Amino acid sequence: MSCEIFLRIFKFIPVVFITAIIVWSWYAYVIELCFGVVNNGIEAFFLLVFYHISLFFLLWSYYKTIFTKIALVPTQFKISRSEMEQLVKAKNPEEQTRYLKHLSKDLPILNCTINNCVRFCERCQHIKPDRSHHCSVCNACNLKFDHHCPWVNNCINFSNYKFFILFLGYGLTYCIYVCLTMLKYFILFWKGELGQSTGKFHLLFLFVVAIMFAFSLVSLFGYHIYLVLKNRTTLEAFRAPIFLIGGPDKNGFSLGYKKNFEQVFGHEKKYWLLPIFTSQGDGVKYPVRKHLLEEV
Q: Which residues are catalytic?
A: 149
Which pairs from 53-59 meet CB under 8 Å and 24+ separation? 54/170, 54/173, 54/174, 54/177, 55/22, 55/26, 55/174, 57/166, 57/170, 57/173, 57/273, 57/275, 58/22, 58/167, 58/170, 58/171, 58/173, 58/174, 59/22
Beta-bridge partners for 54: none
Of the candidates 118, 153, 117, 151, the one whose C-alpha atom is nearest the C-alpha of residue 135 is: 153
Distance CA 112, CA 135 (A): 18
CA 227 to chain centre: 11
Q: Please spell the DSSP secondary structure of 35-66, one letter per residue.
A: ITT---HHHHHHHHHHHHHHHHHHHHHHHHHH
Distance CA 78, CA 123 (A): 11
Count the alpha carbons within 13 Å of 254 in the hemisphere toward its beta carbon. 16
Of the candidates 25, 69, 56, the one whose C-alpha atom is nearest the C-alpha of residue 213 is: 25
